[in-house]
Amino acid sequence: MRYGFVIDLKKCYGCYTCTVVCKAANHTPKGVDFAKCYQGEIGTYPSALRQMLPTLCMQCAEPECLAVCPTGATVQDENGIVTVDRDLCMGCKYCMVACPYGQRHIVPEWENYYPGAGDDLDQYQAYAKATWEEKNGYGVATKCDFCRERLKQGRQPACVEACPAKARYIGDLDDPESEISMLIRRERGFQLNPEFGTDPSVYYLPAR
Amino acid sequence: MILRAQSKWSWSIAAYLFLAGMGAGAYVTGVVADLAGWERPSIPAIGVCLGFPSVLIGCMFLVLDLGSPANFWRAWRKPQTSWIARGTIIISIFMILGAIHLGLWVWPFHILDQAADCRYLLSILGALFAFGTMIYTGILLGALRPIAFWSTAMLPLLFLVSALSTGVMAVILIGTLAGVAEEAIRVLEKADILLIALEMFVLLFYFQATHRVPESRASARLVLAGTVAPSFWIGVVCLGLLIPLGLELASVTAAEGSGATTVLGTLCGLAGGLLLREVILRGGVLAPLKAGRFEYALTNP
């Protein structure tokens, strides 16, 4: 099976819930967003148009990050999810420059969310820091993994579960009968920047 | 929408690219002088002495830039597809050969040094891997698809010519300071004039190749007229190309060269070589995300 995502740009109204709930679920440090949203704008008033673009790791079938990784730290599991083995990564940043979608992050150290507070972490931030250190650590590449641990428990990724517009779907791209495969076929789903030959597993449905 | 350049690789990577290229270029200069039968131990010795240590210092900059410097040894693991791993192997072999070559002067290995065949074999092998060291960095950057400014066949050529030129200049600099015979310096200066002229052409074609996609056009704008422009025009063009070219032309045409201008010209040229890497890295604009008619510039590049 190959996990895939569909994000319906018709439904998304740019509330950033995915960004925030991802932060809460993955305890990402300051400045790191696994589910970043971009604002797009074309034209000028009165014919200007805006469109949000929520992103996450595209879990490409042909990942650039995996091709350029010199240590073999980047691996693709049997479900198509790309992860980093922190015991092999040395933090060369090649994958960060190679990923066309900007989905790779290296955290040098935990930075306090509150400016000027130094090392004085409140209990919530201390918990987030401990969780981050346990799962990801510092000086090595980290990334979105479609909330793999939640998927193993039969739950949906945090961003899918929380999306108030129900604009996000997860499913099996290999199964032509799955909800996401049907959506992609019926509504002309497209991938971001197919010219890079990465074959992303995240599809978008056009807004209009 | 303003496209932005990558910020992951900056001055320490530029220092590495420069030192690795310069060291390999100096080594090739020394080896060619040795094969041409120049008097040892002057120019050949200086070239070989500069090679291995410069590359080693360059690699230290690279290692310090890693997220986990203590784990640098992991870099040898996957040479199938990654140019960092391939480059690590090339540069390691070059450093081993360079270190052996240096070691030939140390007792008791000087016996091997006397045997020219053995030394020449080592020189040719070392020069091969020196060329690998000069070229692979361009291929490494060129393998990155989202940065069209780097994904061009001209970049390895640019790095190669610049590496040879800065290598020759480093040898001229040390040779002048060490008081090597002037005739040898003049020959090297003539060679460097050709290399600088070639580098100017390569640079011209390098920018000509940026017209293809919006992100590479943005790179060209950034480098030629944007925030990187002062480094490019003052650093790369004036310091790196025009000043050394002018001073070397004056030196080879004058009846009697002056050591001070030679030192000044080569120092400017070396600074220009370092800034060339810096400019290329800072000009690496990332492709926008495209969704239908909308384009989105990456905001955390």
Q: Which residue of A53, A88, A206 is in closest CB contact with B296? A: A53
Query: Hey, is the C-beta of B211 within 8 angstroms of any chain A C-beta?
Result: no
pLDDT band at A168 (very low <50, low <70, confident <90, very high): very high
Average pLDDT, integer, range A31-53 = 92
Structure confidence at residue B38 (pLDDT): 80
Structure confidence at residue B35 (pLDDT): 87
Which of A86-100, A171-185, B29-43, B160-174 comes out lowest in average pLDDT? B29-43
Report d(CA A2, CA A79) in Å as an integer.
5
CA distance readout (Å), B246 to B202, B264, B275? 19, 11, 19
Asked if the model's pLDDT at residue B112 lies above 80, the reply is no
Interface test with A, best of B86, B92, B149, B296 (most A CBs within 10 A): B296
Tokens of A53: 């673009």
Q: Please answer whether residues A91 and A136 qualify as being in contact, where contact means their C-beta atoms are separated by less than 8 angstroms.
A: no
* ipTM of this complex prediction, to 2 decimal places: 0.90
Domain ranges in chain B? Answer: 11-296
Q: Selecting from 3.40.50.970, 1.10.3720.10, 3.40.50.150, 3.30.70.20, what CATH number does the domain A3-205 have?
A: 3.30.70.20
What is the third-level CATH fold of B11-296?
Answer: Formate dehydrogenase/DMSO reductase fold (1.20.1630)
Q: Which residue of A68, A91, A192 is in closest CB contact with B68? A: A91
CB contact under 8 A, B85 and A67: no
Asked if the model's pLDDT at residue A172 lies above 90, the reply is yes
Asked if the model's pLDDT at residue A141 lies above 90, the reply is yes
CB contact under 8 A, B67 and A139: yes
Structure confidence at residue B40 (pLDDT): 63
Q: Please answer whether residues B113 and B119 qualify as being in contact, where contact means their C-beta atoms are separated by less than 8 angstroms.
A: yes
Query: Hey, is the C-beta of B64 within 8 angstroms of any chain A C-beta?
Result: no
The letter for the amino acid at A151 is: L
Structure confidence at residue B2 (pLDDT): 87
Average pLDDT, integer, range B149-171 = 96
How confident is the model over B146-159, as pLDDT tens digits?
A: 999 999 999 999 99
Q: Which residue of A39, A72, A140 is in closest CB contact with B67? A: A140
Sign of CA dihedral B48, B54, B60, B66: negative
What percent of chain A clears pLDDT 90, i.e. is strictly above it? 93
Report d(CA B168, CA A121) in Å as an integer.
55
Closest Cα to residue B294, out of A12, A15, A18, A199? A12
Structure confidence at residue A207 (pLDDT): 87
CB contact under 8 A, B68 and A89: yes
Closest Cα to residue B236, out of B204, B193, B284? B204
